[in-house]
Amino acid sequence: MTCSEQLTAAGRTTYDWQSKLVFQLSPTEMYQLLAVLERKLSAVKFTGHGPAHDKFMDCKVQDGGFFVRMGQTGRAIIAVPVVPADAVRIISLLYKQILANDTHLCASDLQQLISSMASMISTSTST
């Protein structure tokens, strides 16, 4: 569990919404995060976000799911393990937003583009 997540006596998860960290992805970053969540890339890191350019987020594949870290200068890092069932919900949101932005694409086009992009990134980092 993260510092902002707690279980109630009834076993329900509650969140510390006062400690939330808002993070907006660019269209390019949405494609990259989707590639990680679809296990086509092993990790991604985004830096320089927010008005002060002091926020970061990274996501990496780990056994049994994914691990996401977010941070901002002067605040504690938020670390969140993401199980596959929760990753599916994030993947769904990414597909919905990317397809809304790029209305000329369909889901199969997006899957092909993600695979091609991941292949190019993997090739450029291994040379």
Task: Please state the pTM of the whole predicted model.
Answer: 0.83
Q: Domain residue spans in the chain? A: 21-120
> What are the structure tokens assigned to 104, written together?
């000329």
CATH superfamily membership of 21-120:
Transcriptional Coactivator Pc4; Chain A (2.30.31.10)
Least Cα distance to 91 among 57, 120, 66, 117 occurs for 66
pLDDT digits (tens, 9 = 90+) for 14-56: 777 888 899 999 999 999 999 999 999 999 999 999 999 999 9
> What are the structure tokens assigned to 33, written together?
């995060």
Please report, for residues 63, 66, 86, the alpha-carbon distance to residue 90 in angstroms, rounded to integers and kept in the order given: 18, 12, 7
* DSSP reduced 3-state for 39: coil
pLDDT digits (tens, 9 = 90+) for 98-120: 999 999 999 999 999 999 999 99
pLDDT digits (tens, 9 = 90+) for 47-83: 999 999 999 999 999 989 999 999 999 999 999 899 9
* DSSP reduced 3-state for 103: coil
